[in-house]
Structure 1
Protein backbone atom coordinates (compact mmCIF):
# COMPACT_ATOMS: atom_id res chain seq x y z
CA UNK A 1 0.00 0.00 0.00
CA UNK A 2 1.13 3.45 -0.77
CA UNK A 3 1.55 6.28 1.70
CA UNK A 4 -0.61 9.09 0.39
CA UNK A 5 -1.82 12.43 1.62
CA UNK A 6 -3.83 14.29 -1.00
CA UNK A 7 -5.39 17.69 -0.64
CA UNK A 8 -9.14 17.22 -0.25
CA UNK A 9 -8.68 20.79 0.74
CA UNK A 10 -11.62 22.36 2.55
CA UNK A 11 -10.84 20.67 5.86
CA UNK A 12 -7.28 19.54 5.23
CA UNK A 13 -5.57 22.10 7.44
CA UNK A 14 -7.72 21.10 10.37
CA UNK A 15 -7.36 17.36 9.91
CA UNK A 16 -3.89 16.64 8.55
CA UNK A 17 -2.06 17.39 11.77
CA UNK A 18 -4.26 14.92 13.62
CA UNK A 19 -4.67 12.18 11.02
CA UNK A 20 -1.39 12.24 9.10
CA UNK A 21 -0.70 9.84 6.25
CA UNK A 22 -0.79 6.09 6.51
CA UNK A 23 1.91 3.77 5.27
CA UNK A 24 -0.01 0.49 5.18
CA UNK A 25 -3.63 -0.47 4.45
CA UNK A 26 -5.81 -1.21 7.42
CA UNK A 27 -9.50 -0.97 8.26
CA UNK A 28 -10.67 1.55 10.80
CA UNK A 29 -10.36 0.21 14.34
CA UNK A 30 -13.40 -0.59 16.42
CA UNK A 31 -14.98 2.55 17.80
CA UNK A 32 -14.06 4.78 14.86
CA UNK A 33 -16.09 7.98 14.95
CA UNK A 34 -18.07 7.77 11.70
CA UNK A 35 -19.31 11.33 12.08
CA UNK A 36 -15.78 12.56 11.34
CA UNK A 37 -14.54 13.50 7.87
CA UNK A 38 -13.12 10.07 7.03
CA UNK A 39 -14.55 6.78 8.29
CA UNK A 40 -11.31 4.82 7.89
CA UNK A 41 -7.99 5.90 9.34
CA UNK A 42 -5.64 4.58 6.66
CA UNK A 43 -5.97 4.60 2.90
CA UNK A 44 -6.40 1.33 0.99
CA UNK A 45 -7.34 -0.18 -2.35
CA UNK A 46 -10.94 -1.15 -3.06
CA UNK A 47 -11.97 -4.73 -2.44
CA UNK A 48 -12.18 -7.09 -5.39
CA UNK A 49 -10.30 -7.10 -8.66
CA UNK A 50 -11.16 -3.80 -10.30
CA UNK A 51 -10.46 -3.94 -14.06
CA UNK A 52 -9.13 -0.59 -15.25
CA UNK A 53 -8.05 -1.79 -18.71
CA UNK A 54 -11.13 -0.41 -20.45
CA UNK A 55 -11.26 2.88 -18.55
CA UNK A 56 -10.95 5.90 -20.83
CA UNK A 57 -8.56 8.76 -20.17
CA UNK A 58 -9.86 12.11 -19.00
CA UNK A 59 -10.81 14.31 -21.97
CA UNK A 60 -9.22 17.78 -21.73
CA UNK A 61 -11.63 20.68 -22.29
CA UNK A 62 -11.32 24.41 -21.93
CA UNK A 63 -12.48 25.96 -18.67
CA UNK A 64 -12.20 29.59 -17.68
CA UNK A 65 -9.91 30.20 -14.67
CA UNK A 66 -11.58 29.70 -11.30
CA UNK A 67 -10.64 30.61 -7.74
CA UNK A 68 -11.66 27.36 -6.05
CA UNK A 69 -8.56 25.44 -4.97
CA UNK A 70 -6.17 28.02 -6.43
CA UNK A 71 -5.18 30.08 -3.42
CA UNK A 72 -1.82 31.53 -4.47
CA UNK A 73 -0.06 30.45 -1.28
CA UNK A 74 -1.10 27.89 1.31
CA UNK A 75 0.51 26.01 4.19
CA UNK A 76 0.28 22.32 5.14
CA UNK A 77 2.16 20.82 8.08
CA UNK A 78 4.11 24.06 8.45
CA UNK A 79 5.35 24.03 4.87
CA UNK A 80 4.31 26.71 2.40
CA UNK A 81 3.29 25.92 -1.18
CA UNK A 82 2.55 28.17 -4.16
CA UNK A 83 0.07 27.67 -7.00
CA UNK A 84 1.37 28.35 -10.51
CA UNK A 85 -0.04 31.30 -12.43
CA UNK A 86 -0.37 29.07 -15.52
CA UNK A 87 0.07 25.36 -16.32
CA UNK A 88 1.43 26.09 -19.80
CA UNK A 89 4.75 24.43 -20.55
CA UNK A 90 4.91 22.45 -17.30
CA UNK A 91 6.83 19.15 -17.42
CA UNK A 92 8.52 17.37 -14.52
CA UNK A 93 9.75 13.97 -13.40
CA UNK A 94 9.35 12.56 -9.94
CA UNK A 95 7.59 9.99 -7.77
CA UNK A 96 3.88 9.26 -8.11
CA UNK A 97 1.75 7.68 -5.41
CA UNK A 98 -1.98 6.97 -5.37
CA UNK A 99 -5.01 7.48 -3.16
CA UNK A 100 -8.18 5.45 -2.91
CA UNK A 101 -10.91 4.25 -0.59
CA UNK A 102 -10.27 6.56 2.37
CA UNK A 103 -10.92 9.63 0.22
CA UNK A 104 -13.52 8.13 -2.14
CA UNK A 105 -16.70 10.22 -2.18
CA UNK A 106 -15.16 13.19 -0.35
CA UNK A 107 -14.62 16.66 -1.76
CA UNK A 108 -11.46 17.57 -3.62
CA UNK A 109 -9.70 20.91 -3.26
CA UNK A 110 -11.88 22.62 -5.88
CA UNK A 111 -15.15 21.17 -4.56
CA UNK A 112 -15.53 18.21 -6.92
CA UNK A 113 -16.14 14.72 -5.56
CA UNK A 114 -13.19 12.33 -5.58
CA UNK A 115 -13.89 9.06 -7.40
CA UNK A 116 -11.07 6.54 -7.15
CA UNK A 117 -12.44 4.76 -10.24
CA UNK A 118 -12.00 7.84 -12.47
CA UNK A 119 -8.88 9.30 -14.07
CA UNK A 120 -7.93 12.10 -11.72
CA UNK A 121 -4.96 13.38 -9.74
CA UNK A 122 -3.70 15.69 -7.01
CA UNK A 123 -0.78 18.09 -7.45
CA UNK A 124 0.68 20.69 -5.11
CA UNK A 125 1.14 23.57 -7.56
CA UNK A 126 -0.66 23.04 -10.90
CA UNK A 127 -3.75 25.19 -11.30
CA UNK A 128 -6.97 23.23 -10.88
CA UNK A 129 -8.92 21.97 -12.57
CA UNK A 130 -6.34 21.10 -15.20
CA UNK A 131 -5.11 18.14 -17.19
CA UNK A 132 -1.86 16.23 -17.48
CA UNK A 133 -0.37 13.26 -19.25
CA UNK A 134 1.39 11.01 -16.76
CA UNK A 135 3.87 8.42 -18.04
CA UNK A 136 5.34 5.54 -16.05
CA UNK A 137 8.98 5.79 -17.13
CA UNK A 138 9.63 2.15 -16.18
CA UNK A 139 7.08 0.60 -18.54
CA UNK A 140 6.16 3.45 -20.93
CA UNK A 141 2.45 3.41 -20.10
CA UNK A 142 0.66 6.78 -20.17
CA UNK A 143 -2.68 8.12 -18.96
CA UNK A 144 -4.39 11.50 -19.15
CA UNK A 145 -5.85 12.66 -15.85
CA UNK A 146 -7.92 15.58 -14.62
CA UNK A 147 -6.01 17.40 -11.88
CA UNK A 148 -8.62 18.58 -9.37
CA UNK A 149 -6.97 18.21 -5.95
CA UNK A 150 -4.01 19.28 -3.84
CA UNK A 151 -1.27 16.92 -2.65
CA UNK A 152 0.60 14.70 -2.09
CA UNK A 153 2.12 16.23 1.05
CA UNK A 154 4.39 13.30 1.85
CA UNK A 155 8.14 13.43 1.27
CA UNK A 156 9.27 14.43 -2.19
CA UNK A 157 6.33 12.97 -4.12
CA UNK A 158 5.31 14.84 -7.25
CA UNK A 159 1.76 13.70 -7.94
CA UNK A 160 -0.97 11.54 -6.40
CA UNK A 161 -3.12 9.60 -8.88
CA UNK A 162 -6.49 8.02 -8.35
CA UNK A 163 -6.37 4.27 -7.73
CA UNK A 164 -7.73 3.61 -11.23
CA UNK A 165 -5.07 5.76 -12.92
CA UNK A 166 -2.32 4.09 -10.89
CA UNK A 167 -3.61 0.67 -11.89
CA UNK A 168 -3.60 1.61 -15.57
CA UNK A 169 0.02 2.68 -15.16
CA UNK A 170 0.78 -0.64 -13.45
CA UNK A 171 2.13 0.46 -10.08
CA UNK A 172 -0.86 0.13 -7.74
CA UNK A 173 0.54 -2.99 -6.06
CA UNK A 174 3.87 -1.45 -5.08
CA UNK A 175 2.49 1.99 -4.26
CA UNK A 176 4.81 4.38 -6.10
CA UNK A 177 6.42 4.80 -9.49
CA UNK A 178 8.83 7.09 -11.31
CA UNK A 179 6.75 9.21 -13.68
CA UNK A 180 6.89 12.11 -16.08
CA UNK A 181 4.10 14.69 -15.78
CA UNK A 182 3.27 16.93 -18.75
CA UNK A 183 0.56 19.55 -18.44
CA UNK A 184 -2.18 19.72 -21.07
CA UNK A 185 -3.77 23.11 -21.64
CA UNK A 186 -6.79 23.92 -23.81
CA UNK A 187 -7.52 27.32 -25.34
CA UNK A 188 -11.05 28.79 -25.71
CA UNK A 189 -10.97 27.88 -29.42
CA UNK A 190 -10.37 24.21 -28.57
CA UNK A 191 -6.70 24.11 -29.53
CA UNK A 192 -4.65 21.94 -27.22
CA UNK A 193 -1.05 21.99 -26.01
CA UNK A 194 1.07 19.56 -24.03
CA UNK A 195 4.11 20.89 -22.19
CA UNK A 196 3.77 24.00 -24.38
CA UNK A 197 3.69 22.14 -27.71
CA UNK A 198 0.66 21.68 -30.05
CA UNK A 199 -1.15 18.48 -29.20
CA UNK A 200 -4.23 16.53 -30.25
CA UNK A 201 -5.89 13.38 -28.93
CA UNK A 202 -5.80 10.04 -30.74
CA UNK A 203 -2.72 10.98 -32.74
CA UNK A 204 -4.56 13.51 -34.89
CA UNK A 205 -2.59 16.50 -36.19
CA UNK A 206 -3.08 19.61 -34.03
CA UNK A 207 -4.94 22.59 -35.43
CA UNK A 208 -6.81 25.67 -34.30
CA UNK A 209 -9.16 25.70 -37.27
CA UNK A 210 -12.80 24.89 -36.44
CA UNK A 211 -15.76 24.62 -38.82
CA UNK A 212 -19.30 23.87 -37.68
CA UNK A 213 -20.89 21.01 -39.64
CA UNK A 214 -24.04 19.94 -37.82
CA UNK A 215 -26.24 20.54 -34.79
CA UNK A 216 -28.18 17.80 -33.07
CA UNK A 217 -31.12 19.54 -31.42
CA UNK A 218 -31.27 23.33 -31.70
CA UNK A 219 -30.20 24.86 -35.00
CA UNK A 220 -30.78 28.43 -33.90
CA UNK A 221 -27.90 30.68 -34.85
CA UNK A 222 -26.76 33.53 -32.66
CA UNK A 223 -27.23 33.98 -28.97
CA UNK A 224 -25.21 32.45 -26.14
CA UNK A 225 -24.73 28.84 -25.13
CA UNK A 226 -23.47 27.08 -22.02
CA UNK A 227 -21.04 24.41 -23.18
CA UNK A 228 -20.74 21.37 -20.90
CA UNK A 229 -18.03 19.43 -22.70
CA UNK A 230 -16.34 18.57 -25.98
CA UNK A 231 -15.59 14.98 -27.05
CA UNK A 232 -13.87 13.28 -29.96
CA UNK A 233 -16.47 10.48 -29.78
CA UNK A 234 -20.20 10.99 -30.06
CA UNK A 235 -21.23 8.46 -27.39
CA UNK A 236 -19.97 10.37 -24.30
CA UNK A 237 -21.41 13.59 -25.75
CA UNK A 238 -24.83 11.96 -26.10
CA UNK A 239 -24.66 10.64 -22.55
CA UNK A 240 -23.79 14.10 -21.22
CA UNK A 241 -26.62 15.59 -23.27
CA UNK A 242 -29.08 13.11 -21.71
CA UNK A 243 -27.80 13.96 -18.21
CA UNK A 244 -28.31 17.66 -18.82
CA UNK A 245 -31.81 17.12 -20.22
CA UNK A 246 -32.67 15.35 -16.99
CA UNK A 247 -32.10 18.48 -14.88
CA UNK A 248 -33.03 21.29 -17.30
CA UNK A 249 -36.01 22.57 -19.21
CA UNK A 250 -33.73 24.47 -21.64
CA UNK A 251 -32.83 22.84 -24.97
CA UNK A 252 -29.58 20.83 -25.04
CA UNK A 253 -27.80 20.12 -28.31
CA UNK A 254 -24.75 18.23 -29.53
CA UNK A 255 -22.92 20.48 -31.98
CA UNK A 256 -20.48 18.58 -34.18
CA UNK A 257 -17.51 20.44 -35.63
CA UNK A 258 -14.81 19.30 -38.01
CA UNK A 259 -11.22 20.33 -37.41
CA UNK A 260 -7.90 19.17 -38.78
CA UNK A 261 -7.63 17.27 -35.50
CA UNK A 262 -10.82 15.35 -36.26
CA UNK A 263 -14.50 15.75 -35.48
CA UNK A 264 -15.52 16.97 -32.02
CA UNK A 265 -18.96 16.79 -30.43
CA UNK A 266 -19.78 19.74 -28.18
CA UNK A 267 -22.62 19.53 -25.68
CA UNK A 268 -24.31 22.94 -25.39
CA UNK A 269 -27.36 24.35 -23.60
CA UNK A 270 -29.27 27.22 -25.19
CA UNK A 271 -29.52 29.53 -26.99
CA UNK A 272 -29.85 32.40 -24.50
CA UNK A 273 -30.49 35.96 -25.60
CA UNK A 274 -28.50 37.61 -22.81
CA UNK A 275 -25.54 36.80 -20.59
CA UNK A 276 -27.59 36.99 -17.39
CA UNK A 277 -29.83 34.13 -18.48
CA UNK A 278 -26.86 32.06 -19.61
CA UNK A 279 -25.01 32.61 -16.32
CA UNK A 280 -28.10 31.71 -14.31
CA UNK A 281 -28.34 28.38 -16.13
CA UNK A 282 -24.59 27.84 -15.76
CA UNK A 283 -24.89 28.30 -11.98
CA UNK A 284 -27.77 25.84 -11.86
CA UNK A 285 -25.75 23.29 -13.82
CA UNK A 286 -22.75 23.70 -11.52
CA UNK A 287 -25.01 23.10 -8.51
CA UNK A 288 -26.13 19.87 -10.20
CA UNK A 289 -22.57 18.64 -10.67
CA UNK A 290 -21.73 19.95 -14.15
CA UNK A 291 -18.45 21.59 -13.13
CA UNK A 292 -16.72 22.19 -16.49
CA UNK A 293 -19.13 24.55 -18.25
CA UNK A 294 -18.26 27.72 -20.14
CA UNK A 295 -20.42 30.43 -21.72
CA UNK A 296 -19.76 31.14 -25.40
CA UNK A 297 -21.38 32.43 -28.57
CA UNK A 298 -22.75 30.23 -31.32
CA UNK A 299 -19.74 31.06 -33.50
CA UNK A 300 -17.07 30.07 -30.96
Structure 2
Protein backbone atom coordinates (compact mmCIF):
# COMPACT_ATOMS: atom_id res chain seq x y z
CA UNK A 1 0.00 0.00 0.00
CA UNK A 2 1.34 3.44 -0.94
CA UNK A 3 2.35 5.69 1.99
CA UNK A 4 -0.30 8.33 1.20
CA UNK A 5 -3.13 5.75 1.03
CA UNK A 6 -1.83 4.03 4.15
CA UNK A 7 -1.88 7.34 6.05
CA UNK A 8 -5.47 8.05 4.95
CA UNK A 9 -6.50 4.51 5.93
CA UNK A 10 -5.01 4.91 9.45
CA UNK A 11 -6.81 8.25 9.92
CA UNK A 12 -10.12 6.64 8.88
CA UNK A 13 -9.68 3.70 11.28
CA UNK A 14 -8.77 6.06 14.14
CA UNK A 15 -11.90 8.12 13.59
CA UNK A 16 -14.06 4.98 13.58
CA UNK A 17 -12.52 3.80 16.86
CA UNK A 18 -13.07 7.18 18.50
CA UNK A 19 -16.70 7.22 17.38
CA UNK A 20 -17.27 3.71 18.69
CA UNK A 21 -15.79 4.56 22.08
CA UNK A 22 -18.13 7.51 22.65
CA UNK A 23 -20.99 6.56 24.95
CA UNK A 24 -23.94 8.46 26.36
CA UNK A 25 -23.97 8.87 30.13
CA UNK A 26 -27.05 7.89 32.11
CA UNK A 27 -28.62 8.95 35.39
CA UNK A 28 -30.42 7.14 38.17
CA UNK A 29 -33.75 8.27 36.72
CA UNK A 30 -32.94 6.77 33.32
CA UNK A 31 -33.72 3.12 33.93
CA UNK A 32 -34.65 2.29 30.33
CA UNK A 33 -32.69 -0.84 29.31
CA UNK A 34 -30.84 -0.88 26.00
CA UNK A 35 -32.57 -2.98 23.37
CA UNK A 36 -29.47 -5.12 22.93
CA UNK A 37 -28.79 -5.50 26.65
CA UNK A 38 -28.99 -8.87 28.31
CA UNK A 39 -29.63 -9.81 31.93
CA UNK A 40 -27.16 -11.69 34.08
CA UNK A 41 -29.37 -14.15 35.92
CA UNK A 42 -28.52 -15.45 39.39
CA UNK A 43 -30.16 -18.36 41.18
CA UNK A 44 -32.89 -16.35 42.91
CA UNK A 45 -33.23 -13.27 40.75
CA UNK A 46 -31.73 -11.17 37.96
CA UNK A 47 -29.64 -8.03 37.71
CA UNK A 48 -29.96 -5.59 34.83
CA UNK A 49 -26.66 -5.18 32.96
CA UNK A 50 -23.95 -4.52 35.58
CA UNK A 51 -26.32 -3.79 38.45
CA UNK A 52 -26.27 -5.72 41.68
CA UNK A 53 -24.69 -5.55 45.13
CA UNK A 54 -21.63 -3.38 45.72
CA UNK A 55 -18.20 -4.92 45.31
CA UNK A 56 -17.45 -3.88 48.89
CA UNK A 57 -20.40 -3.85 51.29
CA UNK A 58 -20.00 -1.86 54.52
CA UNK A 59 -19.76 -4.09 57.58
CA UNK A 60 -22.21 -1.88 59.49
CA UNK A 61 -24.98 -1.95 56.89
CA UNK A 62 -27.41 -3.38 59.45
CA UNK A 63 -26.89 -0.22 61.53
CA UNK A 64 -27.99 2.26 58.84
CA UNK A 65 -30.83 4.18 60.53
CA UNK A 66 -34.30 4.65 59.12
CA UNK A 67 -35.03 7.89 57.31
CA UNK A 68 -36.59 10.43 59.68
CA UNK A 69 -39.72 12.07 58.23
CA UNK A 70 -39.38 15.85 57.93
CA UNK A 71 -41.50 18.67 56.55
CA UNK A 72 -39.72 19.55 53.30
CA UNK A 73 -40.75 21.70 50.33
CA UNK A 74 -41.62 19.68 47.25
CA UNK A 75 -39.21 19.85 44.33
CA UNK A 76 -41.23 21.34 41.46
CA UNK A 77 -39.20 19.81 38.63
CA UNK A 78 -39.44 16.34 40.20
CA UNK A 79 -43.24 16.37 40.49
CA UNK A 80 -44.32 17.23 36.95
CA UNK A 81 -46.29 14.77 34.74
CA UNK A 82 -43.94 12.56 32.72
CA UNK A 83 -43.74 9.48 30.49
CA UNK A 84 -41.51 6.42 30.79
CA UNK A 85 -41.42 3.16 28.82
CA UNK A 86 -44.68 3.99 27.06
CA UNK A 87 -46.53 4.77 30.30
CA UNK A 88 -47.78 8.17 31.50
CA UNK A 89 -47.50 9.25 35.13
CA UNK A 90 -48.94 12.20 37.06
CA UNK A 91 -47.31 12.61 40.50
CA UNK A 92 -49.72 13.15 43.39
CA UNK A 93 -48.49 16.22 45.27
CA UNK A 94 -51.37 16.22 47.73
CA UNK A 95 -51.14 15.22 51.37
CA UNK A 96 -53.29 12.13 50.73
CA UNK A 97 -52.73 8.89 52.68
CA UNK A 98 -51.16 6.02 50.75
CA UNK A 99 -51.32 2.35 51.77
CA UNK A 100 -50.71 -0.25 49.06
CA UNK A 101 -49.57 -3.86 48.89
CA UNK A 102 -47.40 -5.00 46.00
CA UNK A 103 -43.96 -6.06 44.84
CA UNK A 104 -40.86 -4.04 45.68
CA UNK A 105 -37.50 -4.37 43.96
CA UNK A 106 -34.13 -2.67 44.54
CA UNK A 107 -31.41 -0.98 42.53
CA UNK A 108 -27.71 -0.94 43.29
CA UNK A 109 -24.21 -0.28 42.06
CA UNK A 110 -25.05 0.55 38.44
CA UNK A 111 -26.83 3.72 39.63
CA UNK A 112 -24.71 4.49 42.72
CA UNK A 113 -23.55 8.12 42.62
CA UNK A 114 -25.78 9.13 39.70
CA UNK A 115 -28.37 11.90 39.83
CA UNK A 116 -31.83 10.91 40.97
CA UNK A 117 -35.03 12.68 39.88
CA UNK A 118 -34.69 14.95 42.92
CA UNK A 119 -31.26 16.09 41.73
CA UNK A 120 -29.55 14.33 44.61
CA UNK A 121 -26.91 11.65 44.16
CA UNK A 122 -28.18 8.10 44.56
CA UNK A 123 -26.59 6.44 47.57
CA UNK A 124 -27.26 2.71 47.61
CA UNK A 125 -26.28 2.62 51.30
CA UNK A 126 -28.86 5.25 52.40
CA UNK A 127 -32.52 4.70 53.26
CA UNK A 128 -34.16 5.96 50.05
CA UNK A 129 -36.53 4.69 47.39
CA UNK A 130 -38.03 5.41 43.98
CA UNK A 131 -41.80 5.58 43.40
CA UNK A 132 -43.68 6.46 40.18
CA UNK A 133 -46.11 9.01 41.66
CA UNK A 134 -45.57 9.78 45.37
CA UNK A 135 -44.34 13.32 46.05
CA UNK A 136 -40.62 14.05 45.93
CA UNK A 137 -39.59 14.27 48.67
CA UNK A 138 -41.90 12.21 50.89
CA UNK A 139 -41.56 9.28 53.29
CA UNK A 140 -42.96 5.75 53.44
CA UNK A 141 -42.86 2.85 55.84
CA UNK A 142 -42.16 -0.43 54.03
CA UNK A 143 -43.00 -3.81 55.58
CA UNK A 144 -41.80 -7.13 54.19
CA UNK A 145 -44.98 -9.22 54.36
CA UNK A 146 -43.01 -12.48 54.52
CA UNK A 147 -40.81 -11.76 57.54
CA UNK A 148 -42.42 -8.69 59.15
CA UNK A 149 -39.28 -6.54 58.91
CA UNK A 150 -39.86 -2.80 58.37
CA UNK A 151 -37.91 0.28 57.29
CA UNK A 152 -38.73 3.95 56.74
CA UNK A 153 -37.33 5.42 53.53
CA UNK A 154 -37.33 8.81 51.81
CA UNK A 155 -38.74 8.99 48.26
CA UNK A 156 -36.26 10.93 46.13
CA UNK A 157 -36.41 9.19 42.74
CA UNK A 158 -38.85 7.92 40.08
CA UNK A 159 -39.38 4.26 39.22
CA UNK A 160 -39.73 1.35 38.96
CA UNK A 161 -41.30 1.55 35.51
CA UNK A 162 -42.65 -1.99 35.67
CA UNK A 163 -46.37 -2.82 35.86
CA UNK A 164 -45.74 -5.56 38.41
CA UNK A 165 -43.79 -3.45 40.94
CA UNK A 166 -44.75 -0.50 43.11
CA UNK A 167 -41.42 0.54 44.67
CA UNK A 168 -37.69 0.47 43.96
CA UNK A 169 -35.67 0.47 47.19
CA UNK A 170 -32.05 1.30 47.85
CA UNK A 171 -29.73 -1.63 48.42
CA UNK A 172 -29.48 -0.77 52.14
CA UNK A 173 -33.27 -0.77 52.56
CA UNK A 174 -33.66 -4.09 50.72
CA UNK A 175 -30.87 -5.53 52.86
CA UNK A 176 -32.64 -4.45 56.05
CA UNK A 177 -35.87 -5.99 54.76
CA UNK A 178 -34.10 -9.24 53.98
CA UNK A 179 -34.74 -9.70 50.25
CA UNK A 180 -31.50 -8.68 48.54
CA UNK A 181 -30.94 -12.26 47.39
CA UNK A 182 -34.45 -12.61 45.97
CA UNK A 183 -34.42 -9.34 44.00
CA UNK A 184 -38.04 -8.54 44.92
CA UNK A 185 -40.51 -9.09 47.75
CA UNK A 186 -44.18 -8.63 48.63
CA UNK A 187 -44.46 -5.52 50.77
CA UNK A 188 -46.89 -3.08 52.35
CA UNK A 189 -46.08 0.56 51.60
CA UNK A 190 -47.59 3.25 53.86
CA UNK A 191 -46.95 6.97 53.62
CA UNK A 192 -45.69 8.59 56.84
CA UNK A 193 -45.29 12.16 58.09
CA UNK A 194 -43.39 13.86 60.90
CA UNK A 195 -45.25 14.06 64.17
CA UNK A 196 -44.46 15.46 67.60
CA UNK A 197 -44.54 11.93 69.03
CA UNK A 198 -42.40 10.41 66.28
CA UNK A 199 -43.36 9.20 62.82
CA UNK A 200 -47.04 9.27 61.99
CA UNK A 201 -48.42 6.47 59.83
CA UNK A 202 -51.63 7.42 58.03
CA UNK A 203 -54.38 4.84 57.61
CA UNK A 204 -55.53 4.23 54.05
CA UNK A 205 -58.70 6.26 54.52
CA UNK A 206 -57.77 8.68 57.30
CA UNK A 207 -56.78 12.31 56.74
CA UNK A 208 -53.41 13.49 57.94
CA UNK A 209 -53.31 14.36 61.63
CA UNK A 210 -52.56 18.02 62.33
CA UNK A 211 -49.03 18.38 63.78
CA UNK A 212 -48.49 20.13 67.07
CA UNK A 213 -47.26 23.67 66.55
CA UNK A 214 -43.50 24.07 66.85
CA UNK A 215 -40.92 26.75 66.28
CA UNK A 216 -40.94 27.86 62.64
CA UNK A 217 -37.95 26.46 60.71
CA UNK A 218 -35.51 28.90 59.14
CA UNK A 219 -34.50 29.05 55.48
CA UNK A 220 -31.63 30.77 53.68
CA UNK A 221 -32.85 32.56 50.54
CA UNK A 222 -30.44 32.14 47.62
CA UNK A 223 -32.43 33.91 44.90
CA UNK A 224 -35.87 35.20 43.90
CA UNK A 225 -37.30 35.21 40.36
CA UNK A 226 -40.47 36.19 38.54
CA UNK A 227 -40.20 33.15 36.26
CA UNK A 228 -40.18 29.53 37.39
CA UNK A 229 -37.71 28.60 34.63
CA UNK A 230 -35.15 31.03 36.04
CA UNK A 231 -35.56 29.61 39.53
CA UNK A 232 -35.19 26.04 38.22
CA UNK A 233 -32.04 27.05 36.32
CA UNK A 234 -30.52 28.42 39.52
CA UNK A 235 -31.58 25.33 41.46
CA UNK A 236 -29.83 23.08 38.93
CA UNK A 237 -26.71 25.25 39.12
CA UNK A 238 -26.69 25.08 42.92
CA UNK A 239 -27.14 21.29 42.91
CA UNK A 240 -24.09 20.97 40.65
CA UNK A 241 -21.96 23.35 42.74
CA UNK A 242 -22.96 22.76 46.36
CA UNK A 243 -21.61 20.12 48.68
CA UNK A 244 -23.80 16.99 48.56
CA UNK A 245 -24.84 17.45 52.20
CA UNK A 246 -26.96 20.42 51.07
CA UNK A 247 -28.77 18.55 48.26
CA UNK A 248 -31.77 17.57 50.38
CA UNK A 249 -32.19 21.12 51.68
CA UNK A 250 -32.51 22.85 48.31
CA UNK A 251 -35.97 23.75 47.05
CA UNK A 252 -38.21 26.25 45.25
CA UNK A 253 -41.27 27.89 46.77
CA UNK A 254 -43.86 30.14 45.15
CA UNK A 255 -44.43 33.18 47.36
CA UNK A 256 -47.19 35.30 45.83
CA UNK A 257 -45.92 34.87 42.28
CA UNK A 258 -42.23 35.13 43.19
CA UNK A 259 -40.25 31.89 42.85
CA UNK A 260 -37.71 31.70 45.65
CA UNK A 261 -34.74 29.33 45.69
CA UNK A 262 -33.96 28.55 49.29
CA UNK A 263 -31.88 26.26 51.48
CA UNK A 264 -33.34 24.66 54.58
CA UNK A 265 -34.96 24.01 56.88
CA UNK A 266 -32.56 24.93 59.68
CA UNK A 267 -33.62 24.76 63.34
CA UNK A 268 -32.18 28.16 64.22
CA UNK A 269 -31.01 31.47 62.77
CA UNK A 270 -27.47 30.68 63.94
CA UNK A 271 -27.38 27.59 61.72
CA UNK A 272 -28.62 29.67 58.77
CA UNK A 273 -25.73 32.09 59.31
CA UNK A 274 -23.28 29.20 59.55
CA UNK A 275 -24.54 27.79 56.24
CA UNK A 276 -24.37 31.26 54.63
CA UNK A 277 -20.75 31.67 55.74
CA UNK A 278 -19.76 28.25 54.37
CA UNK A 279 -21.39 29.13 51.03
CA UNK A 280 -19.95 32.68 50.95
CA UNK A 281 -23.45 34.23 50.87
CA UNK A 282 -22.95 37.88 51.80
CA UNK A 283 -26.55 39.13 51.95
CA UNK A 284 -28.33 36.84 54.39
CA UNK A 285 -32.10 36.74 53.81
CA UNK A 286 -34.08 34.39 56.08
CA UNK A 287 -37.68 33.33 55.53
Normalization by structure 1: what TM-score?
0.57
Q: Secondary structure at the match of 1:53?
A: helix
Q: Secondary structure at the match of 1:168?
A: helix
Deviation of 1:22 after TM superposition, in Å, equals: 6.2
| Cα distance change on mapping 1:159 and 1:20 into 2, 3 Å | farther
Aligned to 1:62, which of 35, 52, 71?
71
How far apart are the structure 2 equivalents of 1:184 and 1:20?
40
Deviation of 1:267 after TM superposition, in Å, equals: 4.7
The reply on whether 1:184 has 2:192 as its aligned counterpart is: yes
The reply on whether 1:86 has 2:79 as its aligned counterpart is: no
- Which residue does the alignment assign to 1:137? 145
How far apart are the structure 2 equivalents of 1:151 and 1:209?
33
- More helix by percentage: 2
Q: Is the 8 A contact 1:121 1:160 kept in 2?
A: yes
Residue-pair matches, total: 207
Matches within 5 A, 1:213-252: 225-226=218-219
Instruction: Give the alignment's Cα RMSD to 1 decimal.
Output: 4.1
- Which residue does the alignment assign to 1:31? none
- Which residue does the alignment assign to 1:36? none
The reply on whether 1:18 has 2:11 as its aligned counterpart is: no
| Cα distance change on mapping 1:224 and 1:63 into 2, 3 Å | closer
Q: Is the 8 A contact 2:96 2:207 kept in 1?
A: no
How far apart are the structure 1 equivalents of 2:36 and 2:268?
43
The reply on whether 1:8 has 2:24 as its aligned counterpart is: no
How far apart are the structure 1 equivalents of 2:217 and 2:191?
30
Deviation of 1:271 after TM superposition, in Å, equals: 5.5
- Which residue does the alignment assign to 2:107? 99
Q: Could you say which structure has the larger radius of gyration?
A: 2
Contiguous gaps of at least 5 residues in structure 2: 1-25, 43-47, 221-242, 247-264, 281-285
Q: Secondary structure at the match of 2:188?
A: strand
Q: Is the 8 A contact 1:62 1:190 kept in 2?
A: no
- Which residue does the alignment assign to 1:194? 201
Q: Is the 8 A contact 1:7 1:152 kept in 2?
A: no
| Cα distance change on mapping 1:135 and 1:149 into 2, 3 Å | same
- Which residue does the alignment assign to 1:157? 165
How far apart are the structure 1 equivalents of 2:36 and 2:165?
15
- Which residue does the alignment assign to 1:45? 53
Matches within 5 A, 1:254-273: 267-268=266-267, 270=269
Q: Is the 8 A contact 1:19 1:41 kept in 2?
A: no
Q: Secondary structure at the match of 1:18?
A: coil
Deviation of 1:102 after TM superposition, in Å, equals: 0.1
Q: Is the 8 A contact 2:136 2:157 kept in 1?
A: yes
Q: Secondary structure at the match of 1:101?
A: coil
How far apart are the structure 1 equivalents of 2:88 and 2:37?
18
Deviation of 1:153 after TM superposition, in Å, equals: 1.1
Contiguous gaps of at least 5 residues in structure 1: 1-5, 27-39, 200-205, 213-222, 228-243, 248-265, 286-294
